[in-house]
Structure 1
Amino acid sequence: MRVMEDRTKIIAKPLFSGRKILWVGCVFILAVMCVSTADVIYSLRKTAAKSDAVVSGFRQRSRLLETLRTLMLRSALSPDSDGERAIESSDLPAAHLQANQILEQFGASLGASGDEATQQRLDDLKSSINQYWDSLPIIREQNASHPVTPPPFFRGAERRQIRHIARQIMELNREQQDRAGAQLHAEHDRLQGELLISSLLSLAVVFALIAGISYRIKTTERFAEQQYKDVVQARAELQTFAGRLEQAQEEERRNLSRELHDELGQTMAAALVELSRIESEMPQDTAAKAQLASVKSELEGSMRSIRDIALVLRPSMLDDLGLVPALKWQGREVARRSGLAVRVEADDDCESLPDTYRTCIYRIVQEALHNVVKHASATSVAVSFRSTNETLLLTVEDNGKGFRPASEKGMGLLGIEERVGRLAGLVRVTSSPDKGTTIQVTLPVPAVEREEVR
């Protein structure tokens, strides 16, 4: 009993809920996915902002360089030949100041992104432009005093100076184009790196979570499997214990039935014989003889009650005559007490069954007939017991009011199922309201019996 209690405590332990583990895992995975998606969106927006800033800076610097280039070209035009396109001599200082402001704005737009080579090139451009603007008034005065109409552009060294400045502007523009492309490419690479790191971290977290959930599920499955084994073992031990208890009960019933029949029954029979002798020796028509007859009648009734009790406990004919005579006697007794039409049909070759089978079949028929008398309101019942090479088939069928087996199963049917289950058999109950009830029990033929048949 101590082992059974310990195992019951183990079985009663609460099993960790795998559903909760899965829910927690799914919520965590969704959280990781949401965080990863938010990080990707943030990185994309950040990259888009930086790209817009790079493009905007590039366009601004391009406009500044284009304005500077246009200003330098206008300065090279002659006011006499080009009219409004040329810069008047009086406006040269303002144009010079505007050129310097453009260069200052260009340098400011570069900010920290400009390297030393770019800054040096910008300083060279400033120096060339300053030299040009410083020499431009003198050149114009010389051209104004020339007797021949001056050409639209200056010639010689002045033209080379203009071309040199234009080339410097183009190189600076190309360089800042390359720098803008490099910045965009670097930002693209940075975004790819962040996305890769974020994806790898998310995958690592998900794989770790999946591994943890898998380990937890396997642990839970092993625990559940161990519990199932414990339950099966406990049930098997309980069935074994119930079988032994039933055997002990049957043995006790057998002993009690024999005690009632042999000891008390014989004693009361001897007393009845003695009363009959005394009654025969007494004179007729006396009050004592009438009282003696009454005592004798009560004693006979008590003997019948004791005999009935002994037969209910364990009919001696089940052990002395066999299963088939006991079943037929049971049918006759039920018919005598209840008025039912009971028909019992059984194969005579069923007498070689072990005692556990004979007792089980007899008790099933006894319980089934008791249920018919008590609940079925039937007028007839048929009991059939047949055997084949592999199975034993017992059928009890009545024409009573029937019931719903799925919802109205009582203790009697549960007891029948327990008895049949201990012998690895099956019970099938077929019934419906107003259509009677059929109980069909199928038992495997005992191994010893099967060997004898072969």
Structure 2
Amino acid sequence: MSPQEQHQEHHQQDTLRSADLSDLLGHVHTCWDNERRSLSRQLHDSLGSSLTALTMHLGLLMQKMPQEPALQDRAAHMKQLLLQIVETNRQMQIKLWNDKLEFLGVRVALSEAVEQFGQQHKIAARCSLPEDELSCPRSHGIVLLHTLEEALRNIIAHAQATEVDVIVDDNEDEVMLTVKDNGVGLSGPVAAALERIGDKFGLRTARERAAYLGGTLTLSAGAERGVTLTMVLPKPPAS
């Protein structure tokens, strides 16, 4: 076998290994998504229901208890603790799996993620979405939401931004997510931090998930400042 033929064979083997690895990562992410969804449902159906019932029972007991300040204060403290646990459980459910994606659709899930991000971090967060629900498979919706959440986390961690724009375009062939910020951009220590923490782990995972669906994820410097993240996911052919 000539050196050229050996090189071609090695290249083909590398290509096959890369394809196998991409398929494996896609399978792992799908399994992990299903597991997170199952855990979230268990927290809601079991723990959530029990906590709600406890809160109601405690409220009834407080109505029947003697009106002694010490007893009422202790019961009120217990009720407050229960309410805090209920809220913590709700937040854990959302972090594991955003049910709005399934029950209300991708459009609502993306819009509310941007709105909550802006309110929580006091950042001007704007969202431009199609008027109608996105016409894409469930797998695309999961990757869109995951990538948006990861992009917003990176903005808080590295960008020092005051404004964020999220744009979703949906056409016959593909769906595209664009996230722009007006932060410090890709130069200097922030770029190294983004490469080390965001891109190497969170955004790299999002890039691999996009690639598994035949898409791409890119980061580029903004026109004047900041960073623009763009993810394009092709739609599967109609059956």
What is the TM-score with the length of structure 1 in the denominator? 0.48
Q: Deviations over 1:202-241 (max 9, x none)?
A: xxxxxxxxxxxxxxxx622222211111111111111111
Structure ranking higher in helix proportion: 1
Report how far residue 323 of structure 1 moved.
0.4
* Structure 2 counterpart of 1:386: 169
CA distance in 1, matches of 2:60, 2:157: 43
- Tell me, which stretches of 5 or more residues in structure 2 are unaligned? none
List gaps (5 residues or longer) in structure 1: 1-217
**Identity across matched positions, percent:** 28
Per the alignment, residue 226 of structure 2 pairs with 436
Note if contact 2:129-2:168 (Cα within 8 Å) is conserved in structure 1.
yes
Instruction: Indicate whether 1:368 and 2:158 are aligned.
Output: no
Structure with bigger gyration radius = 1
Indicate the SS of the match to 2:183.
coil
Deviation at 1:285, TM superposition (A): 3.9
SS of the residue aligned with 1:447? coil
Cross-structure match for 2:65: 282
Counterpart of 2:126 in structure 1 is: 343
Q: Could you tell me how far apart the structure 2 residues matched to 1:406 and 1:317 are? A: 33
| 1:229–1:260 distance in 2 versus 1, CA, 3 Å | same
The answer on whether the counterparts of 1:401 and 1:434 sit within 8 Å (CA) in structure 2 is no
CA distance in 2, matches of 1:321, 1:289: 41
Hey, what's the Cα distance between the residues in 1 that align with 2:191 and 2:114?
28
Aligned to 1:426: 216
Are the equivalent residues in 1 in contact too, given 2:218–2:229 (CA < 8 A)?
yes
Local SS of the residue matching 1:309: helix
RCO higher in structure (CA 8 A, sep ≥6): 2
Q: What amino acid is the match of 1:262?
A: D
What are the superposed Cα offsets for residues 408-443 of structure 1, whole Å, 9 maximum, x if unpaired?
A: 523233222212211222223122698111111122
**Aligned positions of 1:215-294 closer than 5 A:** 219-294=2-77
Amino acid at match of 1:267: S
Per the TM alignment, residue 406 of structure 1 is displaced from its structure 2 partner at its CA by 7.6
- CA–CA distance in structure 1, aligned partners of residues 213 and 132 of structure 2: 20
CA distance in 1 between counterparts of 2:119 and 2:88 reads 15
Tell me the amino acid that sits aligned with residue 440 of structure 1: T
Please give the secondary structure, in 1, of the residue aligned with 2:2: helix
When residues 255 and 348 of structure 1 are mapped into structure 2, their CA distance, relative to the original with a 3 A threshold, is farther
Aligned residue for 1:8? none
From 94, 98, 108, the equivalent of 1:311 is 94
Q: For residues 437 and 394 of structure 1, do their structure 2 counterparts lie closer, same or farther at Cα, with a shift above 3 Å needed?
A: same
Task: Specify the code of the residue in structure 2 equivalent to 1:269.
Answer: T
- Number of equivalences: 232
Would you say the 8 A contact 1:402–1:434 is kept in 2? no
How many Å separate the matches in 1 of 2:160 and 2:38? 35
1:315-338 per-position Cα deviation (integer Å, ceiling 9, x unaligned): 111111110111112122222322
Contact 2:117 2:152 in 1 (8 A): yes
Structure 1 residues 406 and 372: CA distance shift in structure 2, 3 A: closer
5 Å-filtered alignment, 1:384-423, equals: 384-404=167-187, 408-409=194-195, 410-411=199-200, 412-423=202-213
Q: Hey, what's the Cα distance between the residues in 2 that align with 1:236 and 1:283?
A: 70
TM-score, structure 2 normalization = 0.89
1:357: which partner in 2? Answer: 140
Aligned match of 1:123:
none
C-alpha offsets along residues 384-406 of structure 1, whole Å, 9 cap, x if unaligned? 11112222111101111112498
Instruction: Select between 241-250 and 323-332 the one with higher mean Cα deviation.
Output: 323-332
More strand by share: 2
